[in-house]
Amino acid sequence: MTEADAVFQSYGRCCKSPRFLEDFYENFMASSDAIKERFKDTDMSSQYHLLRSGLLWMILRARGMSDTKLKDLGESHNRNGYNIPPQWYDLWLEALLKTVAAHDEEYTSALAGQWRSVMLPGIEMIRSRY
């Protein structure tokens, strides 16, 4: 199985866990008050759905899907959009890994490494558009 396939399956298991996305945002917002502040006016129940697709695009891109969706996220998150500093994506990834560890019952440290290497190119694509 390729790395991207292993992560795709892990993501499927996480999505069966009802609090996965909620926990992700809880972990992510706990990593910085400045990040928490950015979501103060956000309708979080819509945001959970949006991130569910966003994560899927990140994984599908690693499995060969086109970059278009991630380029759009690069635009919406850049200095003219939500103005997300590039270093915040490291906190995003750590919060994601922490949440996956708690929700995927087949989690291993090897799988964590696979998540990292599948997510990083997509993250680079988004934050390089800052």
CA distance 86 to 110: 26
Q: Of residues 5-34, which lie at the interface with ligand HEM (CB under 6 A)?
A: none
Is residue 61 near ligand HEM by the rule CB under 6 A? Answer: no
DSSP label at 44? Answer: H
Least Å from the CB of residue 67 to ligand HEM? 13
Give whole-number Cα distances, 106 to 1, 25, 49, 121, 130, in Å: 15, 22, 24, 24, 35
Q: Which stretch binds ligand HEM (CB under 6 A): 16-24, 60-68, 82-90, 109-117?
A: 82-90
Q: Which stretch binds ligand HEM (CB under 6 A): 6-14, 15-23, 77-85, 102-110?
A: 77-85
CB 16 within 8 A of CB 100: no
DSSP label at 33? Answer: H
Least Å from the CB of residue 36 to ligand HEM? 9
Among 23, 24, 77, 114, binds ligand HEM (CB under 6 A): 77
The per-residue b/e assignment along 49-67, b for 16 or more CB within 10 angstroms, e otherwise, is eebeeebebbbbbbeeeee
Is residue 36 near ligand HEM by the rule CB under 6 A? Answer: no
Give the residues lining the site for ligand HEM (CB under 6 A): 35, 38-39, 42, 47, 50-51, 53-54, 58, 73, 76-77, 82, 84, 88-89, 92, 122-123, 126
